[in-house]
């Protein structure tokens, strides 16, 4: 199995291409400053719990409308008050979350060799702001808003697989590329997709803003950054 065996890379966006954890922590700073003793990982783990629960309960709610509920639940858990304006501002903050420094360059390189596809737990308008930071034209963008559910729901992968045929692709042509084991690699395994783990949190403990996936899923490739993936692809071409 080689990186050059695939025709398309399907990407999770937030956590893989966009540094959502830094974006979350910054956008939550006004709230967390009122709560003594919180560590970065405690904040992220609490966010993961509330976000995952809300996504299961209201799968058709747009991400920009779901995050204000997460903010409210965090405030309640930490015993502080949060105004409606604060909650709604947090929902809009995703548009300001930064791309990882290596993302745009790696995507521009990979675009020369693969079709690039987004499969993301986001709404379309919010993704448009993130897309501007990624600096590449994706061949297809499939969002939770389009699908009516959030990963790791099987419907998201079924939707993607039912649509990629229009791009001349089959499941075996795809390398699903993501950071989150919970949202992406576990369901990718269920659907028989090859997977590439961009292990952004390799220097940290726990799962951060994603839930514990339980049993470790199978991954076919593992890199700590998008730049490392691009470099490995260059090496694979030279070895061919």
To the query of whether residue 220 is one of the catalytic residues in this protein, the response is: no
**Separation of alpha carbons 108 and 103, rounded Å:** 9
**Separation of alpha carbons 128 and 91, rounded Å:** 15
**Separation of alpha carbons 186 and 42, rounded Å:** 23
Tokens of 22: 């830094």
Q: Report whether 118 contacts 141 (CB < 8 A).
A: yes
Catalytic residue among 5, 12, 123, 146: 12
Q: Starting at the edge strand that comes first in sequence, how are the strands of the sheet with 140-143 ordered?
A: 140-143, 115-120, 8-11, 174-178, 194-198, 221-223
Q: What share of the chain is helix, strand, coil (3-state, %, to 5)?
A: 50, 10, 35
Task: Return all residues near 31 (Cβ < 8 A) that are at least 6 apart.
Answer: 71, 74, 75, 78, 80, 82, 86
14 bridge partner residues = 18
Burial class (CB in 10 A: 0-12, 13-18, 19+), 191: middle
Q: Which residues are part of the catalytic machinery?
A: 12
């Amino acid at each position: 199995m080689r990186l050059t065996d695939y025709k398309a890379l399907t990407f999770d966006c937030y956590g893989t291409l966009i540094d959502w954890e830094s974006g979350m922590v910054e956008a939550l700073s006004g709230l967390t400053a009122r709560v003594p003793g919180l560590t970065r990982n405690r904040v992220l783990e609490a966010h993961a719990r509330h976000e995952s629960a809300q996504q299961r309960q209201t799968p058709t709610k747009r991400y920009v409308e779901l995050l204000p509920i997460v903010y409210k639940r965090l405030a309640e858990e930490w015993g502080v008050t949060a105004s409606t304006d604060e909650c709604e501002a947090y929902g809009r903050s995703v548009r300001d979350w930064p791309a990882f420094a290596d993302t745009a360059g790696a995507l521009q390189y990979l675009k020369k060799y693969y079709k690039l596809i987004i499969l993301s737990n986001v709404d379309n308008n919010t993704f448009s702001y993130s897309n501007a930071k990624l600096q590449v034209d994706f061949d297809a963008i499939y969002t939770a808003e389009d699908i009516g559910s959030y990963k790791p729901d099987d419907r998201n992968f079924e939707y993607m697989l039912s649509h990629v045929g229009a791009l001349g692709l089959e499941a075996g042509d795809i390398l699903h590329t993501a950071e989150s084991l919970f949202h992406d690699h576990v369901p990718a395994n269920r659907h028989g997709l090859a997977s590439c783990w961009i292990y952004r949190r390799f220097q940290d403990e726990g799962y951060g803003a994603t839930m514990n996936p339980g049993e470790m899923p199978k991954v076919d490739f593992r890199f700590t950054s998008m730049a490392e993936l691009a470099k490995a692809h260059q090496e694979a071409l030279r070895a061919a």
